[in-house]
Amino acid sequence: MVPPDTIEEPAEDQVSYKAEYIWIDGTRPTATLRSKTKILADGAEPPIWGFDGSSTNQAEGHASDRVLKPVFTSPDPIRGGENVLVLCEVENIDFTPHETNTRAAAVEVAERFAAQESWFGIEQEYTMFEGERPLGFPEGGGFPGPQGPYYCGVGASNIVGREIVEKHLDACLAAGLAISGINAEVMPGQWEFQIGPVGPVETADHLWVARWLLHRIAEDYGVTISFGAKPVKGDWNGAGAHTNFSTKAMREGYEAIITACESLGAEGKPLEHVSVYGDGIQDRLTGLHETAPWNKYSYGVSNRGASVRIPWQVEVDQKGYIEDRRPNANCDPYSVTRVIVDTCCTALEK
Ligand code: ADP
Ligand code: MN
Ligand code: MN
Ligand code: MN
Ligand code: MN
């Protein structure tokens, strides 16, 4: 065995680097993330790659090859150096989008309405688990004290998991993601980070990479991240992905704000939206715990019990953005941003 102090330093001009290819699998109702590593020669762009779709619910064993098409590359804050993260779309071997690829449709809608300059900011809530229990819940059973002191709290009796949260924030910044903040949530072990405001596809790309980083960092602590919508039954807040949205017209005037709110309530729209807002929406949008009932659309200024909230400052300024409070933490942001752009921009175009 070679003693450690005789191991050579790596050459200063790195001859290869690691690309972590990340993709969204075919697990349903809620997709999960997969990734694998490719070693690339220095200076080489990450090429198209392949994987075994029969192991990710994306193919049958007898015709299992699927294609990974790089769509968004960032520095890899886990490995550092020249290494990168490569978010991919999944394609069939004829390079058509795979049926589980929701990004392709989101790109199509975003491009169709590009002139309206849509921006999104998504508030991603999540819950940390150790084994079967949320972090901060007594191991042997029973419950922590009732909700109240935990939201944006400080101190060991109110807060768990902050080390992971801080590492994740730094990692997102180092990766160049459009992360705009973090906060502890209402239920112990529950946290939030926000991505945006940036364009619809960019928001969703960054959110998926930020989710991957969160899973990856928590893994080192033996902690599992749940994006489940109602991780603990009973008097405990669910986990959402409040989706803030504006177009250029909405950022310039109040009439467009109202048009957008009305369009989301038009015949057939509430159900169409809720059907892509994540699994278990009925369990979370009960009308309690700062939610509106999933099957009853409403909007209002400052109202955290409405489906869509107009922030008070937006009413004061007579311009700005709206917050769709319905999407679940486990939603697919490609589908969420796609339906919102489609519904609101169609109405605003008239
Ligand atoms: P809340 O008060 O609901 O907790 P947050 O501060 O958590 O709000 O999140 C607000 C989100 O709205 C942020 O992600 C921010 O980037 C986003 N946002 C701000 N302005 C706009 C805008 N004009 N259009 C879209 N999103 C916006
Ligand atoms: Mn193999
Ligand atoms: Mn928030
Ligand atoms: Mn929140
Ligand atoms: Mn919110």
- Which string of DSSP letters, residue by residue, matches 217-236? HHHTTT-EEE--SSSS-SSS
Question: How does pLDDT run across 100-118, given as a tens digit for each residue?
Answer: 999 999 999 999 999 999 9
Q: At which residue do the structure tokens 């955290």 appear?
A: 304
Give the pLDDT of residue 1. Answer: 45
Nearest CA to ligand 1 atom 11: 121
Task: For residue 323, give the ligand 1 atom closest to its CA.
Answer: 3
Question: How does pLDDT run across 78-90, given as a tens digit for each residue?
Answer: 999 999 999 999 9
Give the pLDDT of residue 47. Answer: 98
Measured between its terminal Cα atoms, the distance across the chain in Å is 74
Give the pLDDT of residue 53. Answer: 97
Q: CA-CA distance, 19 to 35, in Å (whole number)?
A: 10
Q: CA-CA distance, 265 to 287, in Å (whole number)?
A: 17
User: What is the CB neighbour count within 10 angstroms for residue 282?
Assistant: 12
Q: CA-CA distance, 28 to 53, in Å (whole number)?
A: 14
The two three-digit tokens of residue 61, written as one number: 């064993």
Give the pLDDT of residue 14. Answer: 66
Which 3 state secondary structure label does DSSP give 206? helix
Q: CA-CA distance, 18 to 98, in Å (whole number)?
A: 26
Q: CA-CA distance, 196 to 180, in Å (whole number)?
A: 6
Task: For residue 246, give the ligand 1 atom closest to its CA.
Answer: 24
Give the pLDDT of residue 141. Answer: 86
Residues of the chain predicted below pLDDT 50: 1-2
Nearest CA to ligand 1 atom 4: 123
Q: Which residues line ligand 1 (CB under 6 A)?
A: 119-121, 123, 180-181, 194, 196-197, 242, 244-246, 251, 320-321, 323
Q: What CA–CA distances, in Å, run from 285 to 31, 194, 325?
A: 21, 21, 9
Please report which residue ranges of the chain form alpha helices under DSSP H.
103-112, 162-174, 200-219, 248-252, 254-264, 269-274, 281-284, 312-317, 333-349
Give the pLDDT of residue 95. Answer: 98
The bound ligand whose nearest atom lies closest to the alpha carbon of 185 is 4
| Cis peptide bond N-terminal to 270, omega within 30 | no
The bound ligand whose nearest atom lies closest to the alpha carbon of 118 is 1
Q: Which residue type sits at 184?
A: A
* Predicted ipTM of the assembly: 0.98
How far does the centroid of ligand 1 lie from the alpha carbon of residue 221, in Å? 30
Q: Which residue type sits at 55?
A: S
**Structure letter (DSSP) for residue 152:** T
Give the pLDDT of residue 9. Answer: 58
